Amino acid sequence: MSEDTSGSGYVESEYRRDSKYLSDRITADGSSGWPVEPGRYRLVIARACPWANRSVIVRRLLGLEPVISMGMCGPTHDERSWTFDLDPGGRDPVLGYERLQQAFLARDPQYSRGITVPAMVDVPSGAVVTNDFPQITLDLSTQWTAYHREGAPDLYPEHLRDEMDEVMERVYTEVNNGVYRCGFSGSQRAYDKAYERLFTALDWLEERLEHRRFLMGGQITEADVRLFTTLARFDTVYHGHFKCNRQKLSEMPVLWAYARDLFQTPGFGDTIDFPQIKEHYYVVHADINPTQIIPAGPDTSGWLMPHGRDQLGDRPFGEGTPPGPVVAGEEVPAGHGPGGIAHR
């Protein structure tokens, strides 16, 4: 449900994610009714959200900025919707909306499910096409190939897909969603079970990554993108706020080096806004943090420490090349990266 806890709640004291998304797809042949078309769609994200962060990274790695514009919501939301409070006048400059909810209601005036990011919006109609976050990134890789930049990586290689799908499913259920299962547990028993599942999976990842640079071997794939957005938030919010506290990421030597390797790769760390991440979790999750006080720490300067993973050889982008500089207007604000200001 992409960072919006409304409508999910607790079932038998265990957290259950609302996964009822608008599942339309934007396809190269247009058979879905939504054809790939440069300039037609706007990707709406929030930097705080790990699910939206995936689409920001993939769009950047593939060089799709010239053909898919991006709108950014602020780090907090109320029960109704994410809002465009970072934009002048509090309105998205392309869609003209104050709230992402307006795009969902343009699609279905009776829409009553979660208003989530990321969302792909059809600019001419102002209506959401899809908020199915796992499929959005796969389609950016497989359906928008005509518009990938020269040197773009193959993030979903056909010969690896069967194994990748299995790895990504385990990463999703046990890690990406596992931290939420800990944080929103409604009983001690549910929390203990969730905690054990999470750290069992993290131990598996430590072992898997000890002698391979990336999850699928020698170069970055979608699987790494999906794991990275959770790791980037682990010490900052999940360790304390969600009680995922057996160890910090910085105390898991293989995963910490792997995460730093990705963070220091263009397209990854330059999408991470630590103050917005903290503001979202500590303010929006008032049931967990009733005071809504945003902690000053942790120190994030360690993300820039040498990682040593290049000793494993391999090339992050295979035969391709890293993306260029961040597009003007999409930069993470100065001071919001490693070692920057504590919070807004």
Could you tell me which residues are annotated as the binding site for glutathione?
Answer: 82
Q: Could you give the CA distance from residue 42 to residue 79 in angstroms, rounded to a whole number? A: 23
Tell the residue number behind the tokens 């430590």, with chain if given.
206
Residues 15, 41, 49, 182: which is the catalytic one? 49
Three-state SS string across the chain, please? CCCCCCCCCEECCEECCCCCCCECCCECCCCCCCECCCCCEEEEEECCCHHHHHHHHHHHHHCCCCCCEEEEECCCECCCCEECCCCHHHCCCCCCCCECHHHHHHHCCCCCCCCCCCEEEECCCCEEEECCHHHHHHHHHHCCHHHCCCCCCCCCCHHHHHHHHHHHHHHHHHHHCHHHHHHCCCCHHHHHHHHHHHHHHHHHHHHHCCCCCECCECCCCHHHHHHHHHHHHHHHHHHHHCCCCCCCHHHCHHHHHHHHHHHCCCCCHHHCCHHHHHHHHHHHCCCCCCCCCCCCCCCCHHHHCCCCHHHHCCCCCCCCCCCCCCCCCCCCCCCCCCCCCCCC
Residues 21, 147, 180, 281: which is the catalytic one? 180
180 labelled catalytic: yes
Which residues line the annotated binding site?
82
Q: Which of 231, 315, 218 is nearest to 272 (CA)?
A: 231
Contact of 171 with 225, CB cutoff 8 Å: no
Q: Which residues are catalytic?
A: 49, 180
